[in-house]
C-alpha cells in the first residue's frame, strides 16, 4: 500500500510526545537530507518514498526519474536517472534504519531495513507503549461531523455507516495526537417541528403530559402527525403558524420542542451506547442565531444575488444555485451549512473539517466548499494544504435482494434491533461452540454477554469498515458472523489465540520486555516484524485519505502473517522462546490498537 498524499518531512515530533513518526517518514527525512546534498539548488524537492512491491527491497525511493526530467538538457554532472540514484545513495547520511541499498537501472533506489533496527523498534514500542508508534500528521485540530440523525425520527441502518465510519476516522485522528471535535449535526430545527408540536398539543391539550407519555413511540408519532399534516388543511395551517411561534421564541412552543428533542436524544443514546460512540451535539438550531451574520458577510462580498424571489449563490459549473434565503424568507440547508463551516473555521479554529454523509450529498458539499473558498474562509487551492474541508461519502447498505436494506414489511430497519440481533446471534453461536468443546461451565453469564456484545457489535462495524466506503455493501449476518475469512469474528478469535499462547508459556512478559532480545533470523520472523513496524504509516494513510478499509486490510494481513510465523516457528519450548513470545505480544498489542481505532472491543479468551 502506498499513500496518495505526500508525506510531511518537517519534524513536528518535538511537540508530539515520544512519537517518532512512521518508518516512511523516518526514511523520507534521511532521503530529504541526501536530496539537499545532491541538488543544493533544488530545495523544494520532496522525497518520494514508498513501500516496495518488488522483491528487491522493503521500501524504495523514486526521485531519480523525476529529477532527471527536471535537469536533463542543463549543464549537469549526471548522465541518466541511474547516475542520480547512485549519487543519492552516496549522499545518504549514516542511519541505523537502513541495512543496504541498491539502484535499479531506471534509478529507483531499493532499501532494505536493518533487522537489528526493526527488532529494536519493536522492543522500544513494547516498553514505551503503542502511542510511540502514532503517526505524525500536519493537523492540530479537526472537526468530524458524523451520525447526524433527524430529531423525531428513528435511527435506522442508513445512519450506521456515518456513525461507524465517522467514529473510526475520529479515533484514528485522536491516536495521531489531533484534537478532534466530534460533532453530531442533528436535524433539530425546521418546518417539521411545527407539525410535531401542533400534533403534540392536540394529543395533550392541557400540556401536562407533553412528554414521553403523550408521544409514545416517536416513529409512530411522526408518521401520525405527517399523515394529518398532509390530509388536514386546517391542521397544516396551524402547524405552519406553530413554526413561526417556535422561531419567535414563544415559551410554550420552545418547551414542547425541547421535550421532543430530549425524547429523541434518549433513543439515539441507546444506539451510541451499544456502539461505544461519543459525540457532542451541535445541531441545526445551534447555528441558527449565526445565520444572519453569515449572510450579511456573503452579501458584502458580492456572492449573493436575487433569483426568483430567493437569495442565492451561483456556483460555476452548477445549474442549480445554493439557496441561502428562500423566497418565503426562511433558511435552508445551505444557510446552516455555510454558517457551520464559518463557525468551525473562525470560532473553533479547525484546520480540517470532515463531513460524513452518503455519496448523494457530495454535490451539495462541493458547492458549500466552493462558496467558502470564494468567501476566503478556505484557501483557494483545493488539495493537501490546510485549513480544508472534506466530504466523506459512502454507499448504501443493501439487503440480500440487492435493494436498500429493509424489513419484510418494507420498513427501514431500526438500528437498535439490528445491533441486538447481532449480539443475540453471537451469544447463541458462542454458547454452542463452548458446549461442543465442553467449556461452557467455565464461563459466567456476564462473560458470555460481554463477549457476545464485543463480537456481535464488532462484527457489524467491521463488515462495514472493511469495504471501500464509496461502494454499496450487502448486509448479511451469516457473512459477518462467520469465524473464517476477513471478519471481526475471525480476527477477535485470532487475537484471543495469541493471548492464550502467551498465557500457556507461564512467562513474565514484563520481565521479558525489559530484557529485550528480539531476533529476526527466520524469514517468517522478519516478515512479521516488518509488517508490525509499518503500522504507523498505515494509520497515517487511512487518516489522510479518509479510508478506514486500509486499516482493516492491514489488520487482516497481520493476522495471516502471524499464522504463517506461528506455523513455521515453534514458540513455547524452542531455543528462541523469549524472542518469539515478544513477537507474539507485539502482534497482540498492534491488533488491540487496530481494534481500538475501529471501535471494536478485543476478546481475550474463546
Give the separation between CA 600 and CA 598, rounded to whole angstroms: 6
The residue from 211, 238, 269 where one domain ends is: 269
Q: Kindly report, residue by residue over 430-460, the tens digit of the pLDDT.
A: 999 899 988 898 999 999 999 999 999 999 9
Strand pairing category for 141-145 and 280-281: unpaired
Residue-wise pLDDT for 569-578, tens only, equals 999 999 999 9
Looking at per-residue pLDDT, the higher value among 28 and 405 belongs to 28
Same domain, 363 and 301: yes
For residue 9, what is the DSSP state?
-
CATH number of the domain bearing residue 349: 3.40.50.620
Rounded Cα gap, residues 314 and 96, in angstroms? 57
Average pLDDT over residues 384-401: 89
How many residues does this entry show for the chain? 606
Q: Of 439, 438, 536, 555, which Cα lies nearest the Cα of 490?
A: 555
Candidate from 111-125, 278-292, 402-416, 513-527 with smallest mean pLDDT: 402-416
Q: Are residues 211 and 327 in the same domain?
A: no
Average pLDDT of 4-19? 42
Average pLDDT on 259-272 reads 92
pLDDT reported for residue 70? 86
Helix (H) or strand (E) holding 547, with range, is none
CA angle 493-494-496, nearest 5°? Answer: 60
Q: Quick check: 4 pLDDT over 50?
A: no
DSSP 112-131: EE-HHHHHHHHHHHHHH-GG
Split at pLDDT 50, 70, 90, the class of 214 is low
Name the grid cell of 406.
429493509
Asked whether residue 123 is assigned to any structural domain, the reply reads no
| CA angle in degrees (0–180, nearest 5) for 222-223-229 | 90
Q: What is the pLDDT of residue 573?
A: 94
pTM listed for this prediction: 0.92
Does the pLDDT at position 212 exceed 70? no
Q: Are 160 and 464 in contact (CB under 8 A)?
A: yes
The cell 487482516 sits on which residue?
Answer: 556
CA distance 304 to 237: 31
Q: Are residues 447 and 464 in the same domain?
A: yes
Report the C-alpha gap between 132 and 536 in whole angstroms: 9
Q: Is the same domain home to 245 and 325?
A: no
Claim to verify: residue 444 and residue 316 sit in the same structural domain:
no
- Structural domain contains residue 464: yes
Domain count, the chain: 4
DSSP 469-516: TTS-EE--HHHHT-SSSSSHHHHHHHHHHHHHHHHHHT--HHHHHHH-
Residues 546, 483: one domain? yes
Mean pLDDT is highest, among 73-77, 197-201, 396-400, for 197-201
Rg of the chain over all Cα atoms, to the nearest angstrom:
28
Look at residue 386 and give its three-state secondary structure: coil
Q: What does the pLDDT read at residue 195?
A: 93
What's the confidence (pLDDT) of residue 14? 37
- DSSP per residue over 231-249, as a string? H-HHHHHHHHHHHHHHHTT
Average pLDDT, the chain: 90
Q: Tell me how crowded residue 288 is: count the other CB atoms within 10 A of its CB.
A: 17
Q: What CATH code is carried by the domain that includes residue 591?
A: 1.10.730.10
428 and 442 share one domain: yes
Task: Give the whole-angstrom CA distance, residue 5 versus residue 305.
Answer: 37
Please tell me whether residues 333 and 427 are part of one structural domain.
Answer: no
**Owning domain of residue 85:** 23-113
H or E stretch covering 338: helix 333-346
Q: What is the pLDDT of residue 209?
A: 52
Tracing cell 463452548 back to the chain, one arrives at 434
For the purposes of burial, counting CB atoms within 10 Å of the CB of 271, is it exposed (0-12), middle (13-18) or buried (19 or more)?
buried
DSSP 321: P
For residues 169 and 310, state if they share a domain: yes
Select from 373, 398, 423 the last residue of a domain. 398
* Same domain flag for 295 and 178: yes
Shared domain for 355 and 237, answered yes or no, is: no
Using DSSP bridges, classify how beta strands 388-394 and 352-358 pair: parallel, antiparallel or unpaired.
parallel
Cβ atoms within 10 Å, residue 82: 18
Domain boundary among 335, 369, 398: 398
Same domain, 369 and 303: yes
Amino acid at each position: 500500500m502506498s499513500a496518495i498524499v505526500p508525506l510531511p518531512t518537517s519534524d513536528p515530533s518535538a511537540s508530539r510526545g515520544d512519537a517518532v513518526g512512521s518508518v516512511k517518514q523516518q526514511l523520507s527525512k534521511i532521503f530529504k537530507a541526501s536530496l539537499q546534498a545532491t541538488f543544493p539548488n533544488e530545495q523544494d524537492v520532496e522525497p518520494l518514498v514508498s513501500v516496495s512491491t518488488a522483491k528487491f527491497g522493503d521500501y524504495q525511493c523514486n526521485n531519480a526519474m523525476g529529477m532527471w526530467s527536471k535537469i536533463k538538457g542543463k549543464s549537469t554532472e549526471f548522465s541518466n536517472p541511474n547516475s542520480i540514484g547512485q549519487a543519492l545513495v552516496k549522499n545518504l547520511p549514516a542511519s541505523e534504519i537502513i541495512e543496504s541499498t541498491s539502484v535499479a537501472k531506471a534509478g529507483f533506489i531499493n532499501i532494505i531495513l536493518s533487522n537489528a533496527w526493526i527488532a529494536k523498534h519493536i522492543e522500544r514500542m513494547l516498553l514505551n507503549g503503542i502511542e510511540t508508534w502514532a503517526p505524525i500528521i500536519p493537523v492540530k485540530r479537526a472537526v468530524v461531523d458524523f451520525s447526524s440523525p433527524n430529531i423525531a425520527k428513528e435511527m435506522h441502518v442508513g445512519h450506521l455507516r456515518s456513525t461507524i465510519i465517522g467514529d473510526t476516522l475520529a479515533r484514528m485522528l485522536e491516536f495521531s495526537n489531533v484534537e478532534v471535535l466530534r460533532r453530531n449535526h442533528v436535524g433539530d430545527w425546521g418546518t417539521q417541528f411545527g407539525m410535531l408540536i401542533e400534533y403534540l398539543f392536540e394529543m395533550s391539550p392541557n400540556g401536562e403530559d407533553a412528554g414521553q407519555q403523550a408521544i409514545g413511540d416517536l416513529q409512530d408519532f411522526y408518521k401520525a402527525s405527517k399523515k394529518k399534516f398532509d390530509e388536514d388543511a386546517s391542521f397544516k395551517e396551524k402547524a405552519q403558524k406553530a413554526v413561526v411561534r417556535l422561531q419567535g421564541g414563544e415559551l410554550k412552543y420552545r418547551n414542547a420542542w425541547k421535550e421532543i428533542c430530549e425524547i429523541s436524544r434518549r433513543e439515539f443514546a441507546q444506539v451510541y451506547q451499544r456502539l461505544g460512540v461519543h459525540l457532542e451535539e451541535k445541531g441545526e438550531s445551534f447555528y441558527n442565531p449565526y445565520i444572519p451574520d453569515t449572510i450579511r458577510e456573503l452579501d458584502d462580498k458580492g456572492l449573493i444575488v436575487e433569483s426568483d424571489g430567493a437569495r442565492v449563490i451561483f456556483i460555476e459549473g452548477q445549474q442549480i444555485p445554493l439557496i441561502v434565503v428562500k423566497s418565503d424568507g426562511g433558511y435552508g440547508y445551505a444557510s446552516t451549512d455555510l454558517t457551520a463551516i464559518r463557525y468551525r473555521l473562525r470560532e473553533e479554529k479547525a484546520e480540517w473539517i470532515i463531513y460524513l454523509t452518503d455519496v448523494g450529498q457530495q454535490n451539495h458539499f462541493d458547492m458549500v466548499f466552493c462558496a467558502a473558498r470564494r468567501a476566503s474562509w478556505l484557501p483557494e487551492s483545493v488539495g493537501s494544504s490546510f485549513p480544508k474541508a472534506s466530504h466523506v461519502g459512502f454507499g448504501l447498505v443493501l439487503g440480500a435482494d440487492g435493494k436498500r436494506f429493509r424489513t419484510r414489511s418494507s420498513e427501514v430497519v431500526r438500528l437498535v434491533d439490528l445491533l441486538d440481533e447481532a449480539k443475540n446471534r453471537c451469544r447463541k453461536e458462542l454458547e454452542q461452540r463452548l458446549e461442543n468443546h465442553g467449556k461452557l461451565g467455565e464461563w459466567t453469564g456476564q462473560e458470555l454477554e460481554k463477549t457476545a456484545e464485543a463480537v456481535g457489535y464488532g462484527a457489524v462495524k467491521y463488515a462495514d469498515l472493511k469495504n471501500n466506503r464509496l461502494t454499496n455493501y450487502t448486509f448479511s449476518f451469516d457473512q459477518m458472523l462467520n469465524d473464517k475469512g476477513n471478519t471481526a469474528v475471525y480476527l477477535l478469535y485470532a487475537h484471543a489465540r495469541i493471548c492464550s499462547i502467551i498465557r500457556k508459556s507461564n512467562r513474565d512478559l514484563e520481565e521479558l520486555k525489559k530484557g529485550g532480545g528480539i531476533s529476526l533470523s527466520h524469514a517468517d520472523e522478519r516478515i512479521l516484524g516488518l509488517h508490525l513496524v509499518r503500522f504507523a504509516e498505515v494509520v497515517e494513510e487511512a487518516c489522510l485519505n479518509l479510508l478506514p478499509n486500509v486499516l482493516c486490510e492491514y489488520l487482516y494481513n497481520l493476522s495471516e502473517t502471524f499464522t504463517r510465523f506461528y506455523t513455521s516457528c515453534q514458540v513455547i519450548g524452542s531455543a528462541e522462546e523469549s524472542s518469539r513470545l515478544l513477537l507474539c505480544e507485539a502482534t497482540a498489542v498492534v491488533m488491540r490498537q487496530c481494534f481500538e481505532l475501529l471501535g471494536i472491543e478485543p476478546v481475550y479468551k474463546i
